[in-house]
């Protein structure tokens, strides 16, 4: 299947997905399950990665910007802006593409090869709408929390370095993270996160839904979902940065 | 009654069904039989609407489903129950939740009424003791029975069974066959069973359609199958020594 055909079948799947649910009660039941599975279960990995990356960025900044021309607070400022502008949205979503994307693709792919999706279709259920819509909406609605959570723990990781080591003082770090703070950067990061969440959930669902074959193909679909959603995220990152910041 | 008229289906230009016509009667167990690769699964999936046919008509009680689209087709599908080869129960739901699923999706009854109906169907297939178990926790035969309960919970007019005995021992296969036949008679359903299990053919073959190389080669019932004059069918049915002996005994009127 060439790229144009894939875009076409992805669009048709999304057309079927974004229909009014047959039963709102069933939708909200699936939605709450997905919120837990994709959102709450991702908080731990976001906390660990953000905390450690915040700490490492702080150390790297101190070591690589030890220039008398640069003010002391530059480290805190650079850590904050790196986290707010890129890490907590783009890089975190690339990581979540691996966790959430592969989970969605393998779950839907397994349902496809075990005829569970055929069973839904035979019952007269819009299987795309029933299976995919709650996943997309749940991930898009939990991602702002994950992005803000990641920012907070990234900055906290840097604070931990300032507190427990002598590479930078706490006062300088805290001054730096407050210096010339632009609240719009948080909004910008959340907007990017929501767009990327849509890409991750929808692309992974597409690859899972279109699996043909057996377990081997489910594994391949899972890998393809992660690789392709990562590439699309990087492409949209450039476009959104140009659109929202330039 | 389901009537199939001259249906033709190909994949990537390779014909799999070549102008097949057949009638599947109401209140009877209609069997589609044939060798592996003969096109029987494609015929069943075409009739049920999983595959769209290239040409021809599929008529369910004077309603041509090949012309149906979108919501009309989805509404129509609620009259269909299907038992899949691998049961296709939802892994994340218990047996009771699986059977409740179609009711939750389409019924306006109260929750208590839905549970009552689901338990009635589970009782009918003798599976009440497994209501709170997940599909992975029950045997293959129990999964098939749970899938039958799910298939009949909305009182379907049409029941499709894709190789219901695959992976089951002969005794359990017989139980499943008898259960499907009883349900067919009890609820006056048009049942179509896709099988290559010759025990099923001999037990419940009230109307048998034999597909050979994508074409209908014979249609009849289990009593007529001993003398069809159709060599490919005889090669299929009487392939084993046991069935050769049965045929011999039948011909000798033993």
Name the 3-class secondary structure at B240.
coil
Q: Closest approach of chain B CAs to the CA of A230, in angstroms?
A: 29
pLDDT 10s digits, B6-19: 999 999 889 999 99
| Share above pLDDT 70 across residues of chain B, in percent, rounded to a whole number | 96
pLDDT 10s digits, B20-30: 999 999 999 99
Q: Which residues of B touch A122 (CB under 8 A)?
A: 48-50, 77, 80, 82, 160
Give A11's contacts (C-beta < 8 A, 6+ positions apart). none
- In chain A, the residue whose alpha carbon lies closest to the alpha carbon of B160 is A122
Banded pLDDT at A96 (limits 50, 70, 90): very high
* Inter-chain residue contact A22 with B106, CB threshold 8 Å: yes
What are the domain boundaries of chain B?
A: 1-79+190-254
Banded pLDDT at B73 (limits 50, 70, 90): confident
| Share above pLDDT 90 across residues of chain A, in percent, rounded to a whole number | 86
Of A23, A118, A119, the CB nearest to B104: A23
Q: Closest approach of chain B CAs to the CA of A38, in angstroms?
A: 16
Specify the CATH number of the domain B1-79+190-254. Answer: 3.40.50.300
Name the 3-class secondary structure at B189.
coil
pTM of the prediction? 0.86
Whether A71 has a pLDDT exceeding 70, the answer reads: yes
Contact B57, B2 (CB under 8 A): no
Q: Rounded to an integer, what distance in angstroms lies between the CA atom of residue A108 and that of residue A115?
A: 11
Whether B125 has a pLDDT exceeding 60, the answer reads: yes
Q: Return the number of other C-beta atoms located less than 10 Å from residue B250's C-beta.
A: 13
Find where tokens 């597909």 sit: B211
Asked which of A86-90, A172-176, B48-52 is least confident by mean pLDDT, the reply is B48-52
Per CB distance under 8 Å, which residues of B are interface residues toward A? Answer: 48-50, 73-78, 80, 82, 84-86, 88-91, 101-102, 104-106, 160
Per-residue confidence (pLDDT) for residue B254, from 0 to 100? 56
Whether A205 has a pLDDT exceeding 90, the answer reads: yes
Q: Average pLDDT for residues A181-204, to the nearest whole number?
A: 96
Per-residue confidence (pLDDT) for residue A219, from 0 to 100? 95
Q: Average pLDDT for residues B44-68, to the nearest whole number?
A: 88
Per-residue confidence (pLDDT) for residue B233, from 0 to 100? 82
Q: Return the number of other C-beta atoms located less than 10 Å from residue A13's C-beta.
A: 17
Of B75, B86, B160, the CB nearest to A114: B86
Contact A155, A75 (CB under 8 A): no
Strand B207-212 to B29-33 pairing:
parallel
Per-residue confidence (pLDDT) for residue A1, from 0 to 100? 66
Give B34's contacts (C-beta < 8 A, 6+ positions apart). B40, B196, B210, B211, B212, B236
Strand B29-33 to B190-194 pairing:
parallel
CB pairs under 8 A between A and B: 54
| Share above pLDDT 90 across residues of chain B, in percent, rounded to a whole number | 38
* Inter-chain residue contact B75 with A124, CB threshold 8 Å: yes
Per-residue confidence (pLDDT) for residue B249, from 0 to 100? 75
Q: Rounded to an integer, what distance in angstroms lies between the CA atom of residue B143 and that of residue B45?
A: 21
Nearest to A115 by CA among B193, B50, B37: B50
ipTM: 0.82
Whether B138 has a pLDDT exceeding 90, the answer reads: yes
Q: Which residues of A touch B85 (CB under 8 A)?
A: 115
Q: Which residues of B touch A25 (CB under 8 A)?
A: 104
What are the domain boundaries of chain A?
A: 35-245
Per-residue confidence (pLDDT) for residue A201, from 0 to 100? 97
Q: Please, what is the average pLDDT of chain A?
A: 93
Q: Rounded to an integer, what distance in angstroms lies between the CA atom of residue A134 and that of residue A153?
A: 28
* Inter-chain residue contact A124 with B76, CB threshold 8 Å: yes
- Higher per-residue pLDDT: A119 or B254: A119
């Amino acid at each position: 299947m060439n790229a144009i055909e894939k875009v076409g079948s992805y669009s048709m799947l999304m057309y079927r997905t974004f229909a009014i649910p047959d039963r709102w009660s069933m939708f909200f039941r699936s939605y709450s399950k997905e919120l837990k599975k994709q959102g709450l279960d991702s908080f731990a990995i976001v906390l660990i990665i953000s905390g450690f990356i915040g700490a490492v960025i702080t150390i790297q900044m101190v070591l690589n910007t030890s220039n008398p021309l640069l003010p002391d607070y530059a480290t805190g400022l650079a850590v904050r802006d790196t986290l707010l502008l890129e890490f907590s949205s783009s890089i975190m979503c690339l990581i979540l593409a691996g966790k959430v994307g592969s989970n969605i693709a393998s779950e839907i792919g397994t349902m496809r090869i075990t005829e569970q999706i055929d069973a839904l279709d035979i019952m007269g259920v819009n299987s795309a709408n029933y299976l995919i819509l709650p996943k997309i909406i749940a991930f898009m609605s939990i991602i702002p929390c994950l992005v803000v959570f990641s920012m907070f723990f990234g900055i906290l990781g840097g604070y931990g370095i300032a507190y427990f080591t002598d590479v930078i003082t706490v006062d300088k770090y805290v001054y730096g993270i407050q210096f010339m703070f632009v609240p719009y950067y948080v909004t910008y990061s959340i907007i990017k996160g929501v767009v990327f969440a849509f890409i991750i959930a929808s692309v992974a669902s597409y690859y899972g839904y279109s699996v043909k074959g057996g377990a081997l193909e489910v594994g391949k679909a899972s890998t393809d979902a992660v690789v392709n959603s990562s590439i699309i995220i990087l492409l949209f990152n450039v476009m959104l940065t140009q659109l929202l910041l330039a | 009654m389901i009537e199939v008229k001259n249906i033709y289906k190909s994949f990537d230009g390779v014909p799999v069904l070549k102008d097949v016509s057949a009638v599947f009667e109401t209140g009877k167990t209609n069997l589609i039989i044939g060798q592996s690769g003969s096109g029987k699964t494609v015929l069943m999936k075409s009739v049920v609407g999983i595959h769209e046919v290239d040409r021809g008509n599929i008529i369910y009680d004077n309603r041509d489903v090949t012309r149906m689209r979108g919501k009309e087709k989805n509404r129509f599908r609620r009259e269909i129950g299907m038992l899949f080869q691998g049961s296709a129960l939802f892994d994340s739901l218990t047996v009771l939740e699986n059977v409740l699923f179609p009711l939750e999706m389409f019924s306006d009854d109260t929750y208590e009424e839905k549970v009552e109906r689901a338990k009635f169907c589970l009782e009918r297939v003798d599976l009440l003791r497994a209501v709170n178990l997940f599909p992975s926790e029950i045997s293959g035969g129990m999964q098939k029975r749970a899938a039958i309960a799910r298939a009949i919970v909305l009182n379907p007019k049409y029941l499709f069974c894709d190789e219901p005995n695959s992976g089951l021992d002969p005794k359990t296969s017989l139980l499943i066959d008898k259960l499907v036949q009883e349900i067919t008679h009890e609820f006056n359903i048009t049942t179509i069973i896709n099988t290559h299990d010759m025990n099923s053919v001999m037990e419940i073959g009230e109307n048998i359609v034999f597909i050979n190389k994508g074409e209908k080669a014979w249609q009849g019932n289990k009593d007529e199958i001993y003398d069809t004059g159709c060599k490919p069918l005889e090669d299929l049915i009487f392939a084993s020594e046991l069935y050769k002996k049965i045929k011999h005994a039948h011909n000798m009127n033993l």
